[in-house]
Amino acid sequence: MTPPALIWFRHDLRLADHPALTAALAGGGRVLPVFVLDDGAAGQWRPGGAARWWLKGSLAALSADLAARGAPLLLARGRAETVLPALAAATGAAEVHAGRVTDPWARDQARRVHEALADAGRALHLHTTMLLREPHLVANGSGRPYAVYTPFAKAMLAAGEPGIPLPAPAAIPGAEPPAGGEALESLGLYPVPGEPDWAAEFGARWQPGEAGAAARLARFTAAAIGRYATGRNRPGIEGSSGLSPHLRWGEVSPRQVWHAARAAGGSADIETWLKEILWREFSHHLLWHRPDMPDQCLRAEFRDFPWRADAALLAAWQRGRTGYPIVDAGMRQLWRTGWMHNRVRMIAASVLVKHLLQPWQDGAAWFWETLVDADLASNSASWQWVAGCGTDASPYFRVFNPVLQGEKFDPDGAYVRRWVPELAKLPDAVLHRPWEAPAELLRAAGVTPGATYPRPLVDPAEGRARALAALATLRGARGAA
């Protein structure tokens, strides 16, 4: 009799285009699907609160999809290198199939699982489930990792189109699970006992799971992708895909979204969207080769940057009380929905690290806790890009002016008025700079600067000047940028 195989779900919570699942089924035996919550291995990079809300919903959806095909999902909690060998022994499985994860802690985890299984005469097989191509297989002409996005993207495109996505199996012959699996509620993902239900509004916007990912992808390719090049920069409209949390949890694969975009046509808007997929790939490429990226500036000279860590300034930014309407709108959107528009993420991040001179790691930590799409590679790479300390970073002199950015990308004020309603009655001309509004306009709109809405924590011009002064203290900063 053919021994069963374990399929270990990690950051790939779907059934379609799942090479690890396909390989597990190819052996011809029964399959035991497993998810292991291993917070001990993840350490400080265990999913944040918003991500745990999403994970709970995603696991519920995956469990239902697997059960409908004949192989219920076994949930477990503990160290993967202990749990998986024990399950393999209990079921007689000779092989464990899983997707490769680029996070440093997950690489260490996979190594330990491999060693533990090998000691028992069993094997771990890792497959490409969360990226188009594995980072260690993409190199420049000298055989070295890429440090700059543009040549990386060109190399990825030159390598040819990604493979055609695999179909979801119609049926999965399930192996008898051993006793002792966890109930979803017992994993303690969300809500945390004794804590308020701060994610109460998430469900109105999001549908975790493979079906939710497919529906969102279909809506995006049918409507918004045709105007993506301009629409993606307008936070007041539905111009972006909203697929980031689905990609982060692997409810849809990058091959699926790539080919769905190609099928939608050949416009410049679609090419712009595909470049975003390649930026995600580049972020994982950087993390694979620079596992210190979540904590350390990739440019060594920036490790001496004269930050002015201030808990009060950080808290004001976190709560959407900076006095810059576009930033405050974004931070409030983040808290209410677990997501923030990408253009606004850049503006908000720039204000924190440049105008307020707060460490980028503090901003990244807040995003890690509050984003449903919190991805270690993308979060770290993007914060380093804004701070100017990444290998391919925003130029040192680029300091986003939050007023001009708001006026340019939210010209009719739709975004600010939605998330900062205390400013809703101000006319467009002063909406993004309420501290400059004439007294009569402020009275008519019911706005009292410093009372009903805060004054800016720092004047935009002053913030830019002191950011440049701080950057000028770094040896080689200009050349690095």
> Which pLDDT belongs to residue 392?
80
Residue 10 has pLDDT above 90, yes or no: yes
Residue 347's nearest CA partner among 369, 332, 331 is 331
Decide if 187 is inside a domain. no
Inside any domain, residue 57:
yes
The answer to whether the bond into 191 is cis (omega within 30° of 0) is: yes
**CA–CA dist 324, 348 (Å, integer):** 9
Quote the CA–CA distance of 455 and 448 in Å, as a whole number.
9
Are both 152 and 125 inside the same structural domain?
no
368 & 415 share domain:
yes
Q: What is the mean pLDDT of residues 242-266?
A: 95
* Residue where a domain terminates, one of 289, 322, 352: 289
Q: Is the pLDDT of residue 74 over 70?
A: yes
Q: How far is CA 208 from CA 31, 132, 191, 196, 219, in A?
A: 24, 22, 16, 21, 15
Please write the tens of the pLDDT for every residue from 404-436: 999 999 999 999 999 999 999 999 999 999 999
pLDDT of 389 above 70: yes
Percent of the chain with pLDDT over 90: 91
Q: Rounded to whole angstroms, what are the CA distances from 83 to 35, 76, 77, 109, 385?
A: 10, 7, 8, 12, 38
- Same domain, residue pair 266 and 308: no
Per-residue pLDDT, 408: 97
Q: How confident is the model at residue 396 (pLDDT cuts 50, 70, 90)?
A: low
For the segment 354-373, the average pLDDT, to the nearest whole number, is: 98
Q: What is the residue-averaged pLDDT of the chain?
A: 95
466 and 318 assigned to the same domain: yes
> What are the structure tokens assigned to 447, written together?
């706005």
pLDDT of residue 176: 92
**Beta carbons of 154 and 271 less than 8 angstroms apart:** no
The CATH code of the domain that includes 43 is 3.40.50.620
Q: Which of 260, 289, 318 is the last residue of a domain?
A: 289
Whether 307 is catalytic: yes
Query: Could you tell me if 322 and 399 lie in one domain?
Result: yes
> What is the model's pLDDT at position 146?
96
479 confidence band (pLDDT: 50, 70, 90): very low
96 beta partners? 6, 124
The residue annotated as part of the active site, out of 342, 369, 407, 435, is: 342
Residue at 142 is within a domain: yes
What total of structural domains would you count in the chain? 3
Domain range holding 141?
A: 131-164+210-289
In a domain, 455, yes or no: yes
Closest CA to 13 of 56, 46, 71, 68: 56
Does residue 230 surpass a pLDDT of 80? yes
> For position 42, what pLDDT does the model report?
97
Residues 152 and 215 in one domain: yes
- What is d(CA 442, CA 426) in angstroms, rounded to the nearest whole number? 7
d(CA 4, CA 175): 7
Query: Mean pLDDT, to the nearest integer, of 382-407?
Result: 89
Residue corresponding to tokens 């490790």: 303
Catalytic residue among 81, 95, 210, 276: 276
Asked if residue 404 is part of any domain, the answer here is: yes
Q: Indicate which CATH number applies to the domain containing 217.
A: 1.25.40.80
pLDDT at 243 over 60: yes
Catalytic residue among 335, 339, 383, 385: 383
The residue type found at 81 is E
Buried b (16+ CB within 10 A) or exposed e, 288-316: bbbbebbebbbbeebeebebeeeeebbeb
Q: What is the pLDDT of residue 198?
A: 83
Query: 105, 206, 335, 360: which is the annotated catalytic residue?
Result: 360
194 within some domain: no
Q: Which band of pLDDT confidence, cut at 50, 70 and 90, is reported for residue 474?
A: confident
CATH code at 348? 1.10.579.10
In the sheet where 74-77 sits, what is the strand order? 74-77, 31-37, 5-9, 95-99, 123-127
Confidence of residue 347 (pLDDT cuts 50, 70, 90): very high
Residue 193 in domain: no
Last residue of a domain, one of 257, 289, 321: 289
Give the SS3 label for residue 283: helix
Same domain, 121 and 141: no
Q: Do 263 and 312 lie in a common domain?
A: no
Contacts of residue 298, Cβ cutoff 8 Å, sequence gap at least 6: 286, 290, 384, 389, 390, 391
Per-residue model confidence (pLDDT) at position 480: 39
User: Residue 179 — pLDDT band, cuts 50, 70, 90?
Assistant: confident
Are both 250 and 369 inside the same structural domain?
no
The answer to whether residue 279 is catalytic is yes
pTM of the model: 0.96
Cα separation, 316 vs 294, whole angstroms: 23
Same domain, 103 and 54: yes
Instruction: Based on the fold, state whether residues 253 and 367 are members of the same structural domain.
Output: no
Q: Which of 134, 182, 198, 307 is catalytic?
A: 307
Tell whether 190 is covered by a domain. no
pLDDT value for 481: 35
Task: Taking residues 29-39, report their average pLDDT.
Answer: 97
DSSP letters of 103-114? SHHHHHHHHHHH
E-strand ranges in 219-292 read none
Same domain, 107 and 119: yes
